[in-house]
Structure 1
Amino acid sequence: MGQADMAIPPISDSNRLLVPMNATCSLITTCVLLSAGMPPISQCFFSSYELDLQKNRELSDPVLLIRQRAVKALCDYLHDHEHIAESINEGVISSLDKLLSDPDIPCRAYATECFVVLCQHELGRVAFLENNILSSFFKLIKLTEVDIVRLNAHKAIELLSTSPDGADQIVEHGYIPLLIDCARDEVVEIKLIVMDTLNRCLSANTSKGLDAHGVGLFTALLGHENAEVRSRASQNILRLCVDPVGKQKVLEDETIPALIGILTGDSDKAMASAAGALAFICTTTHGRYTALNAGAIPYLLKLVDHSNSRVRVNALKVITCLSETPEGRRILLDHLDVITPHEHDQNAAVAKHAKIAVSVITWKP
């Protein structure tokens, strides 16, 4: 690229914003960036981003157009995974951290997209934690921020949660109450990402989710119109029910009838997750009798013949728990013909749990 091509045009209303990002962020990205008034430009500022100290300095340049073009070029550069280690070594993490507080929306949007790419790699996640970027991200996921920045920030946090250290740090930085609020208030696309993050974080620490009234929220989300939301709500209830306090809380919040409602007919994933949550809840006597009184057995018996093996396994687990009560055993003795064929199920896990269920149902003192 020649010197003439590299000349920086003067900033004006027609060229002060960059073309929208090439991130795959669905309609939210398009709508938000168009509303920000970002006109297209005919050519890129850099044909390639050769990482050096000068380019890194441009990320903090006082001239808006230079910052925009530098972070856009860096974002494109990072999409080649071979550039991740080099970029981290050159210190771009701290430069991007500063851009997270930039008053310009495209600068913040591109900076968060850079962190999405970085957090797809172990090196990037480690650098993210070592530079304490979580402290800067806290304000980016609040509803006062624009959609595209929130979406990118949540994507980066969700990727960070895939590592045990990342999930622990998210909890320690006090994110759980805010993420619970986001799961309640966000648009569906972001809500799903948030619930995936919570699922991993609650595996590491259930108490924070219980303290933030997570059971009540996820119980309400079991009635959401989106099947993916209902499925993730069931998964998060399952995580919270690992804790004895969570098992008691679901009884207080009438979660069991809502979970049984999912069993009456939903997506395979939602029904499997709901049955899995019930299996944890029904490990307590109170939980078993609540499920029995809510009429769970007929729906569970139908799921024993379901085509999805995960649904069959989890349904059999709940049936086994319910058969530990005299009332449940009496009912299930009349339906052994539904369960016994699955002792020879082609799926080993299904066959195993069918045998366990039959042995408990037919047990005699």
Structure 2
Amino acid sequence: MALARISLEPPPHIDPTKATLAYGRLAIKRLNRELHDAVLLTRQRAVKALCDYLHDHEHIAEAINEDVVTSLNVLLKDSDVPCRAYATECFVVLCQHELGRVAFLDHNILQSFLNLIKLSEVDIVRLNAQKAIEVLTTSPAGALAVVENGYIPLLINCARDEVDEIKIVVLDTLNHCLSFDTGKGLESGGMPLFTQLLSHESPEVRARAAQNILRLSVNPTGKQGALENETIPALVELLKDNSETVRASAAGALAFICTTNHGRYTTLNAGAIPHLLHLVDDENSRVRVNALKVITCLSETPEGRRILLDHLNTITSHDKDVNAAVAKHAKIAASVITWKP
């Protein structure tokens, strides 16, 4: 299903004219000065021109050296929507570079972003702010900073309340952050929310919800939370999803939950084995690997082993799969299924 795109329709006098760029190394200096101008039109033109200028990666270091980050931080509090929108877009571009991420953290921009992700802010500003945070969290230092600044509970709320386009970005950010701190995600109600999102109409949301359940299930408390919130039947249902990304993420989450006996038997009782055997022949190698991991876990139960012995050929046929990871996990699954005391 296609999502409606959030975009900014700037006032007609901003984009066509923009700010006149000075030559060479003076360009950033002039734009930086105009970002502080008392005239709104000058600020609008300057931040729009700067946004375009930063898309050339050669200008990133120069902009940081001229302390443009401080000027943009001031613009984040501007009363004008286009100024805030283009300022946040500048941070999206800056955070795509290591120098920009370091400057973002050094200037504590995360504190300024706290007000920009609230639902009282306009859509385009929230979207750009969430995109900047998501790009920031692709680096370990950035993800850790987001966790330490108390963003996980806020992001969980955003994942529940936001429009779909922003929800997808937020779920990506959480996926990065929960690898550092699953506890905060569980305390903030992450497991019931992600379980609810497994039935969302968008496959992109469903896949990301399953991936975040996987993150939370690394924690033993998360595995228990999956059992308490009826997460396993919802994941088993997604093994039949039309999207291969959703199928792969659902199987991956089950593989983590099934490391406990309670998780294995709940998955067995949910009727997962027929779907998993079908996924062993899936065209997507990630789906095949994750399905084999779950099958291996289920075959550690007497009931699961008894069922899977009748389908051993389906698994051993992948011993020489073109994908090395699939071949490896097929051999492991076969050895566990055929194990005798």
Contact 1:75 1:113 in 2 (8 A): yes
Contact 2:241 2:247 in 1 (8 A): yes
1:281 equivalent in structure 2:
257
TM-score by length of 1: 0.89
Distance 1:55 1:339, change over 3 A: closer
Shift of 1:101: 0.4
1:234 equivalent in structure 2:
210
Contact 2:258 2:264 in 1 (8 A): yes
Contact 2:73 2:112 in 1 (8 A): yes
**Count of matched residue pairs:** 336
User: Share of identical aligned residues, percent?
Assistant: 71
Q: Give the whole-Å Cα distance in 2 for the aligned partners of 1:340 and 1:54.
A: 67
Contact 1:219 1:233 in 2 (8 A): yes
Q: Give the whole-Å Cα distance in 1 for the aligned partners of 2:43 and 2:330.
A: 62
Contact 1:48 1:73 in 2 (8 A): no
**What secondary structure, in the 3-state scheme, does the structure 2 residue paired with 1:279 have?**
helix
Aligned partner (choices 188, 193, 217) of residue 193 of structure 2: 217
1:60 equivalent in structure 2:
36
Q: Give the whole-Å Cα distance in 2 for the aligned partners of 1:356 and 1:136.
A: 50
CA-atom RMSD in angstroms:
1.5
**Is residue 29 of structure 1 aligned with residue 3 of structure 2?**
no
Distance 1:196 1:55, change over 3 A: same
1:16 equivalent in structure 2:
none
Q: Which digits, 9 at most, give the CA deviation of each residue in 1:198-248, with x for residues without a partner?
A: 000001111111111101111001000111111111100000000011001
AA aligned to 2:6 is I
Aligned partner (choices 48, 65, 73) of residue 89 of structure 1: 65
**Is residue 133 of structure 1 aligned with residue 106 of structure 2?**
no
Aligned partner (choices 83, 87, 99) of residue 123 of structure 1: 99
**Is residue 243 of structure 1 aligned with residue 219 of structure 2?**
yes
Contact 1:215 1:237 in 2 (8 A): yes
Range 244-253 or range 72-81, more displaced: 72-81
AA aligned to 2:12 is P
AA aligned to 2:18 is C
Shift of 1:185: 1.4
Contact 1:168 1:201 in 2 (8 A): yes
Unaligned runs of 5+ in 1: 1-24
Q: Give the whole-Å Cα distance in 1 for the aligned partners of 2:62 and 2:29.
A: 12
Map 1:271-350 → 2, pairs under 5 A:
271-350=247-326
Range 179-188 or range 54-63, more displaced: 54-63
Aligned partner (choices 179, 182, 187) of residue 206 of structure 1: 182
Contact 1:108 1:149 in 2 (8 A): yes
Q: Which structure would you say has the larger Rg?
A: 1
Contact 2:134 2:173 in 1 (8 A): yes
1:77 equivalent in structure 2:
53
Shift of 1:51: 3.5
2:80 equivalent in structure 1:
104
Shift of 1:167: 0.1
2:153 equivalent in structure 1:
177
Q: Give the whole-Å Cα distance in 2 for the aligned partners of 1:80 and 1:54.
A: 17
Q: Which digits, 9 at most, give the CA deviation of each residue in 1:306-327, with x for residues without a partner?
A: 1111111110100000000011
Q: Give the whole-Å Cα distance in 1 for the aligned partners of 2:323 and 2:33.
A: 58
Q: Give the whole-Å Cα distance in 2 for the aligned partners of 1:40 and 1:265.
A: 48
AA aligned to 2:321 is D
**What secondary structure, in the 3-state scheme, does the structure 2 residue paired with 1:364 have?**
coil
Shift of 1:44: 3.0
**Is residue 361 of structure 1 aligned with residue 334 of structure 2?**
no
AA aligned to 1:162 is T
Unaligned runs of 5+ in 2: none
**Is residue 39 of structure 1 aligned with residue 17 of structure 2?**
no
Contact 1:51 1:87 in 2 (8 A): no
Shift of 1:58: 2.0
Contact 2:31 2:47 in 1 (8 A): no
